[in-house]
Copies of this chain bind each other. A is one copy, B any other.
Amino acid sequence: MSEPERARAATIFDVARLAGVSHQTVSRVLNDLPNVRPATRERVEKAIAQLRYVPSPAARALVTRRSRTIGLVVTGAHERGPSSTALHFNAAARDARYAVITASMMRTDVAELRAAAELLVRQNVEAIVLIATDRSGVDALEGVELGVPLVTVASEQRGVRHRVTLDQFAGARAAVEYLVELGHREIRHVAGPEGSMDASERARAWFQVLSDRGLVAREPMQGDWTPESGFERGRALAEQRDFTAVFVANDQMAIGVMRAFAVAGLDVPGDVSVIGFDDLPESEFLSPPLATVRQDFHGLGGDAMALVLSALGDEATPDPPLRPTELVVRGSVAPPAPHLP
């Protein structure tokens, strides 16, 4: 028994022989170069079809140093924002006929991140897209010269060259302003983890609204995006009861907070209003339905791909503006009860 021996794929020479031309001419046809008579072109194309010939990507990449492949590095890949963005970016890339090599990781590990990016570069990707949650992730790649364009999806500007993002700040501001307009004066914040750019944008907006209105901004509690952490912080808040509304940095934590309030006998929104961020599909169907801020990850993925194309010079595309976010008001918010502080 010999090796299974996968049938050797046809080469450019096989095509040339079958079409009765030189490999040179086949190459001209493949790369759409001029100076090929239509009749000849047709003969070659027929031979290509007949042999089901596909040029070897490896050989091509070796000599041209281009691969029609994009590297995607995702941190926080288990979170909704990054994973959803990655998904839509993938689809957008496929539409533009680019392949995507993905390296997903849960956490932001600078060394791992660099290694992944360099591996991608060695794979001859034409550009790298980084979906970053943490500042340190951005710094990790912005610092090094990769040799290919880098497009970053991140909610801070600091030292970022090509960047697309959602307007986290405006979204968070809208949420907090809404609470203020309902009459709330004591508005707490449950923030995301240290180092997260989304978390700090949202916290910054919360703080600014309160400052602008002359309201007291008490030290935010800090969670790690998980419902568990929201639950813990919610328990601590429930003991204090010195507030009438909470702006929680994401829906998952907000769910934990609401659960803690329920356990503590605090009614939402009767005693306390709660508003989250992300608009999970299920947020609308909680009891009470969770008010939140909706983000357009689909558009964001498309923006990232557009920026890649512009950076590659394939098409002229201006740097996309911040994508707006949308406040979604639901049953978890109400005016403060008159008898409370």
Residues of A47-100 contacting chain B, CB below 8 A: 52, 54-59, 61-62, 65, 67, 69, 77-78, 83-84, 87, 90-91, 94, 99-100
Cβ of A177 to closest chain B Cβ, rounded Å: 27
User: Taking the complex as formed, is A169 at the interface, i.e. its CB lies under 8 A from any CB of chain B?
Assistant: no
One of A24-32, A114-122, A204-212 contacting the partner = A114-122
Known: A77-B87, A83-B87. A62 touches B54 (CB 8 A): no
Q: A90-B103, A145-B7, A262-B287 are in contact. Are A122 and B255 (CB under 8 A)?
A: no
The verdict on A160 contacting chain B, using a C-beta distance below 8 Å, is: no
Is A6 a contact partner of B147 (Cβ separation < 8 A)? yes
Q: Which residues of B contact A83 (CB under 8 A)?
A: 83, 87
* Chain B residues with CB under 8 A of A54: 118-119, 122
Give this chain's copy count.
2
Instruction: For chain A, residues 129 to 156, give those with C-beta under 8 angstroms from any C-beta of chain B.
Output: 145, 147-148
A318 to B286, CA, bound (A): 44
Complex Cα spacing A335 to B221, Å:
39
Give the residues in chain B near A62, CB-CB below 8 Å: 56, 58-59, 62
Which chain B positions have C-beta within 8 A of A285?
A: 227-228, 230-231, 255-256, 258-259
User: A159 within 8 Å of B by Cβ?
Assistant: no
In the bound complex, residues from chain B placing their C-beta under 8 Å from that of A123 are: 57-58, 69, 99
Does A102 lie within 8 Å of B100, measured CB to CB? Answer: yes
Q: How far is the CB of A66 from chain B (nearest CB, A)?
A: 10
Residues of B near A227 (CB, < 8 A) are: 281-282, 284-285
Question: Once bound together, how far apart are the Cα atoms of A256 and B122, in whole Å?
Answer: 47
Measured CA separation A236–B139 after assembly (Å):
53
Q: Knowing A122-B57, A227-B282 touch, does A99 contact B101 (C-beta < 8 A)? A: yes
A40 within 8 Å of B by Cβ?
no
With A148-B6, A286-B259: A67-B78 Cβ-Cβ less than 8 Å: no
List the B residue with the shortest CB-CB distance to A68. B123
Is A226's beta carbon under 8 Å from chain B?
A: yes
A18, CB-defined interface residue at 8 Å: no
Could you write out 30 A-B pairs with CB less than 8 Å apart?
Answer: A7-B145, A9-B121, A9-B147, A52-B118, A54-B118, A55-B122, A58-B124, A69-B101, A78-B84, A90-B102, A90-B104, A91-B104, A91-B106, A94-B103, A99-B119, A99-B123, A100-B101, A227-B282, A227-B284, A227-B285, A228-B285, A230-B285, A255-B282, A255-B285, A258-B285, A259-B289, A280-B282, A282-B282, A286-B286, A287-B287
Sample of 14 more A-B contacts, CB < 8 Å, known A56-B122, A99-B120, A227-B285: A6-B148, A54-B118, A57-B122, A58-B123, A90-B102, A99-B119, A101-B101, A228-B284, A228-B285, A252-B281, A255-B282, A258-B285, A259-B287, A287-B287
Chain A residues at the B interface, C-beta cutoff of 8 Å: 6-7, 9, 52, 54-59, 61-62, 65, 67, 69, 77-78, 83-84, 87, 90-91, 94, 99-106, 116, 118-124, 145, 147-148, 226-228, 230-231, 251-252, 255-256, 258-259, 262, 280-282, 284-287, 289
